[in-house]
Structure 1
Amino acid sequence: MYIVGLCAVVFFAPADPEVRYAGTLAAAAPLDYERGRRHALVVRATDSVTGAAADLAVTVSVLDVNDCAPEFSEPEYRAAVSEAAAVGHTVLVLRAADCDSGAGGEVRYSVAAWRAAADDAAAGSFAIDEQSGALRVATPLDRERRADHHLLVTATDAGSPPLSTAVHVFIAISDVNDCWPRVERAVVGALVSREGARGVAVARVAAWDPDAGDAPRLRFALAAGGGALALDSRSGVLSLARPGALAAAAARSLNVSVSDGARATLARVKLTLAPTNAAAPRFPHLVYEARALENQAPPLLLTTVKAVDDDPGEYGAVTYSIPSARLRETFAVDSASGAVSALVPLDREARAEWAVPVLAADGGGRGQHTLVRVRVADVNDHAPAFPLPEYRAAVRRDRAPRLPFLTPSAADADAGDNARLLYSLDEGEAAGDAAGLLAVDPLTGAITPVSPAAVGNELSLRLHVYRLSWGRHRVS
């Protein structure tokens, strides 16, 4: 046997008697169509005795089978396309080669989304020409909805069985300025105060732009008529510029424009003028007079104080209080209505007049005081009383008649008519041996002898005192 190249020649005895020797040409190793489609061989027959030889040229043609899958020119593809690209625009052309011949070398392309179950929209945005491998835009693109796409392109040959290869394609969508700036709130409230310091921030217009890179380029501008406020063109922060002009500015809303350089959106700033504590509460009277009968059951309404405050809102709301903790044990004031009441029965004999200060304060802490003067009116609740249980006096014999020799004086803790007293002596048997001999002045209580028999004798008598009004209390 002789081996020539990839072939071997094997000699054997033929069955035909006319043919003395024969040989078979066989492959000595696997053949590969892609490495060599034809093999030129020379087969030599040599006489083993004489050494004579004869050569025969043999050409071996290798037939192809579909044993090669298509191969892409790149391990992966990356491309960028504008979101403004028209449908049908070619993004890139993919190339895959198949070294097989015939149908096995014919390549067809298809495209699908990577992990299509979760990304069906990506596949629908692009289409590929199955013959040329040109990847084109299939639907309008929107970078704001999707900034990049991950596709899987497959190249499949027409052999039997068909073989295929897939490659990853990454497409980035480049931005164009096709979106309007957007504000977080179309109407922004701003609470401003005339007492605010210049430069104090009062509100902020927050905005953004879906376009890539446009957010840092946004610029804010204040419409005409906003002289009381200043607007930072980059941050959208509104601050006080002239607090004194707020009275006019607060009567309307202001427009703020937000621009990305090509498009602008408006936001409305609604100004609300904050109340200021410009006025303090004031009472129409510095002193309120109140009169109350003593011994009345509590709570006893004495009077109502009323203060006014010209400020609106919470700064104009007035509350009342009694600053003195000691007086709060006896008196109270309703914090809302200003009604002043006595918490305990008042006793004129203990204290006939009270001075109760009342404070009116507004929501900003400003206040004013007034005084409630309470005069306690008397009630006839005390009986007259002599300071001594008995009185003794000696009268000279030569004393002229009708001259007082003793003036017992009684007292009554009540006031006015309730303290006016009337004196008298017992009459009849109760007068004892002084009957008809002595007399008493009913107003002063002065006792005088009315008969010479009264002088020089020891006499006893009972003196009574009465109130002139509000009932008669008798004291002996």
Structure 2
Amino acid sequence: MTLVIEDRNDCSPVFVPNRILLKISELSPVGTSFVIPTANDHDGSKFSVQKYKLETEDKNDWRNFNNASLPTNTIVTNVAPELKLTLMERLDREQKDGYHLRVVAVDGGELPLSGTLLIEVAVLDENDNRPKFNRPIYEANITENAAYQTVVVQVSATDADVGDNGRVFYGFPSNGMSTYGRMFDVNNITGEIRVISKLDRETKPVHHLTVTAADYGTNSLPVEVSVVVRLIDQNDNEPKVAFRNVAEASNAETTKLCTFLGHVMVDDLDEGVNGQFNCSLDSKYADGFARFGQSSALQSLDREEKDLYEFRAVVVQQTMTKLSSTCQVTVRVEDENDCGPIFSKNEFIFTMFEENLPGTEIGTVYAFDKDEYPNNQMHFELISDEFIVDDRDDIVFRIEKSSGKIWTESVLDRELKSDYYFKVLVRDLNNSTITNISTVLIKLIDINDNSPVFRFPNKTHHHILVYVP
């Protein structure tokens, strides 16, 4: 006797295990398949697992995974075939970091029985995001005398990745360290930028920094942001003053009143009210010159009286600190030919022995001119001809034009003329109209150059008659 036991669909498909965790990298390519457990049904092949279907809690998840299905060309047998879950779209952990799926196995009964596999998909983070600063540019204003470790500004960046891939640190680029790395420092954890050396607005009023942000992940991609630091001026500079850049001016003594001599140049590197100042001249001679930025002659100048004026230009800031500076101003008065030659005496008296040899020096007449060379050049002339030529029409005296020395040109005889009186003229060599006159008296000293001579009888009578009473 043969006993045939007919199968009934009394067993449901069962997954062992009925819950799994899949860890999938967010950079997994589309089309990647992952093997998942198959269901087991103890019924015969007629009532065994006939199909699988994929269910999700979120209908949008259908785009990422296809239905769990048996591989093609696979015959359902007691040996469970391989079941795969296939990735249909690219994952992005930053958009969605996990999925909850259900794979349902359905058997072949008229009233199908089913079993469910719960799949939790954890999307693994990859370092696929750069840090992002919360501002496109950072700007800050600080005083130029900011103390050491003063916080200038704090930058902040975030990274959508997690773990080391999302942990951000800050720094300066390598080329920035050589330019501003000695003046500023950035905290690599907090992003605070601090002052680490003395700043000077007058040297560099604006600093352009670049800060980088990178994560600790593999193949990190750093980003940069610009930081503009503007220095606020402080009154830390004394005004610098100069007169015509060389602190010296020349001026002719015939300069008219209020003639412009030059500028008092003042430079204060500070700005605004810190760079405002008052200018004045400090000297007993300063009253003769205008003030407030330019120097002008307010009094007549006379080089022969004073050829050099020295005084100080004083600049004082208008701020409370009243920083000041001075500059030595030297005004040299240039000579003009405004003085004529003047004899040292109104009359020159010379004595000499008679019977002199021609060319004998009698003496020198002196004259002086207060002007400077070449305006003080002069020459001398004799102007009384009747005393220069004797009865024989011989020239008696000669004067050296350049020195004023007087010479004899012939032998003088006291017995013929004992005194010579004449005039001498001195003339400005550069202006012939400027002259001066003095007199010269030459007295001859007698020498024993004559024998006694009887006055009577004279030459025509060689004897004398004497009558005796």
- Among 374, 378, 383, the residue aligned to 1:319: 378
| Residue aligning to 1:102 | 163
Q: Distance in 1 between matches of 2:374 and 2:260?
A: 22
| Residue aligning to 1:201 | 260
Shift of 1:150: 2.6
Q: Structure 1 residues 20, 123: CA separation in 2 closer, same or farther (over 3 Å shift)? A: closer
Q: Distance in 2 between matches of 1:72 and 1:97?
A: 6
Shift of 1:86: 1.0
| Residue aligning to 2:65 | 7
| Equivalenced residues, count | 346
State the secondary structure of the residue aligned to 2:165: helix
- Among 265, 268, 272, the residue aligned to 2:328: 268
State the secondary structure of the residue aligned to 2:164: helix
Q: Distance in 1 between matches of 2:161 and 2:265?
A: 63
Higher-RCO chain (CA-CA 8 Å, sequence separation at least 6): 2
Query: Which ranges in structure 2 are unaligned for 5 or more consecutive residues?
Result: 1-51, 55-61, 348-358, 382-397, 408-423, 439-469
User: What letter is aligned with 1:198?
Assistant: L
Q: Distance in 1 between matches of 2:177 and 2:171?
A: 13
Is contact 1:301–1:339 with CA below 8 Å preserved after alignment? no
CA deviation digits over 1:166-189, x for unaligned, max 9? 223222222111011112479934
| Residue aligning to 2:279 | 220
Q: Structure 1 residues 140, 338: CA separation in 2 closer, same or farther (over 3 Å shift)? A: same
| Residue aligning to 2:235 | 177
State the secondary structure of the residue aligned to 1:40: strand
Shift of 1:313: 2.0
Q: Structure 1 residues 176, 91: CA separation in 2 closer, same or farther (over 3 Å shift)? A: same
TM-score normalised to structure 2 length: 0.59
State the secondary structure of the residue aligned to 1:154: strand
State the secondary structure of the residue aligned to 1:103: helix
Matched, 1:125 2:183: yes
- Among 31, 34, 46, the residue aligned to 2:94: 34
TM-score normalised to structure 1 length: 0.58
Matched, 1:86 2:144: no
Q: Distance in 1 between matches of 2:363 and 2:110?
A: 156
| Residue aligning to 1:418 | none
- Among 128, 137, 140, the residue aligned to 1:67: 128
State the secondary structure of the residue aligned to 1:243: coil
Q: Structure 1 residues 249, 220: CA separation in 2 closer, same or farther (over 3 Å shift)? A: farther
User: What letter is aligned with 2:278?
Assistant: R
Q: Distance in 1 between matches of 2:301 and 2:221?
A: 83
CA deviation digits over 1:189-231, x for unaligned, max 9? 4556664322112344322112234696232112363454233
Is contact 2:286–2:311 with CA below 8 Å preserved after alignment? no
| Residue aligning to 2:247 | 188
User: What letter is aligned with 1:268?
Assistant: Q
Superposed counterparts of 1:245-324, under 5 Å: 253-262=310-319, 263-275=323-335, 277-282=337-342, 308-314=367-373, 317-320=376-379
Is contact 2:131–2:157 with CA below 8 Å preserved after alignment? yes
CA deviation digits over 1:141-162, x for unaligned, max 9? 1222322223221112111233
Is contact 1:112–1:123 with CA below 8 Å preserved after alignment? no
User: What letter is aligned with 1:80?
Assistant: N
- Among 289, 302, 307, the residue aligned to 1:230: 289
Q: Structure 1 residues 314, 93: CA separation in 2 closer, same or farther (over 3 Å shift)? A: same
Query: Which ranges in structure 1 are unaligned for 5 or more consecutive residues?
Result: 287-299, 323-331, 342-356, 372-476
State the secondary structure of the residue aligned to 1:238: strand
Shift of 1:260: 2.5
State the secondary structure of the residue aligned to 2:271: coil
Q: Distance in 1 between matches of 2:109 and 2:197?
A: 83
Once the two structures are overlaid, the 10-residue window that deviates more, 275-284 or 159-168, is: 275-284
| Residue aligning to 1:155 | 213
User: What letter is aligned with 1:210?
Assistant: L
Aligned Cα root-mean-square deviation (Å): 4.9
Q: Structure 1 residues 115, 336: CA separation in 2 closer, same or farther (over 3 Å shift)? A: farther
